[in-house]
Amino acid sequence: MFEGSGVALVTPFKNGKIDEAALVSLIEEQIAAGTHFLVPCGTTGESATLSHAEHDQVIRLTVQAANKRVLVLAGAGSNSTEEAVRLTREAKKSNADGTLHICPYYNKPTQEGLFKHFEAVAGASDFPMVLYNIPGRTGVNMSPATVARLAKIESIVGIKEASASLTQVSDIIQSCREDFAVLSGEDALTFPMLALGAKGAISVTANIMPRQCADMMNAAFSNDWARARKLHYELAELNRVLFIETNPVPVKTALSLMKKIGNELRLPLVPLAPASLEELKKVLSSLGLC
């Protein structure tokens, strides 16, 4: 269901509020560039500092702007199962096509706790769900065995895998049903994950170079691995520099340098350090982006 190049959309702010005009403009550019699906209100969308009202606002606006031209996978994860259910139900009301759910963070559930959490959300909503495993942020790694158990639930249709372990990716693909979509959550590993059988990515880099990210997917799906590999290397420096500091600070800074959004973050995120900013500018300039 969710395959190809997905973009982890940033949330533009202006004077402390959602910059709706900038967000719609970004969405239009993504669709024109061939992005296959949109992902608002994830980590890159600063979901941690959005109020519930803002969260719902961003999803509604994204769905309206997409206007059925591409799918919308709405971030709805939480470390509270009850809150994850509420966010999922709101996304469903907004006519999103599915929801993305991060592993509960800070409370560090066991593997059984992870299973029960996602099982409960799936049971309460009956709505397409994509799991999101990123142990570097959550403090807990969801094992391939747990993913395989969850993949037996029909409404759980995939996982955004960002453990940085290709062995784990391989184990998940081998142990889950054929139509279960493993999606890259690490831009630098998207190409090798595609080679292992992943079905797409939810990309930070696609905010900056959406056409190349979509083209890499299309090439891989057409078995043109030489072209996909070439595009991987063309994106490599950008993939690196966009994580020079905590995401989404570099990508929002890059978009502001490209005059697409204002350079506005919410605390506790702060602007790039001067050395990081200069390195980001150098990479963007080398790619003809600013």
8 A C-beta contact, residue 171 and residue 147:
no
Determine the 3-state secondary structure of 161 from DSSP: strand
The question of whether 106 is a catalytic residue gets the answer: no
Residue among 92, 106, 132, 199 flagged as catalytic: 132
DSSP-assigned letters across all residues of 136-160: HHHS----HHHHHHHTTSTTEEEEE
| Helix residue spans in the chain (DSSP H) | 20-32, 52-66, 81-93, 111-125, 135-138, 144-150, 166-175, 190-196, 210-221, 225-241, 249-257, 274-286
Other Cβ atoms less than 10 A from the Cβ of 221: the count is: 14
- Give me the residue label for tokens 């031209």: 69
Identity of the amino acid at 141: N
Q: How many CA atoms lie within 13 A of 238 on its CB side?
A: 26
Residue among 92, 160, 199, 252 flagged as catalytic: 160
Residues identified as active-site: 132, 160
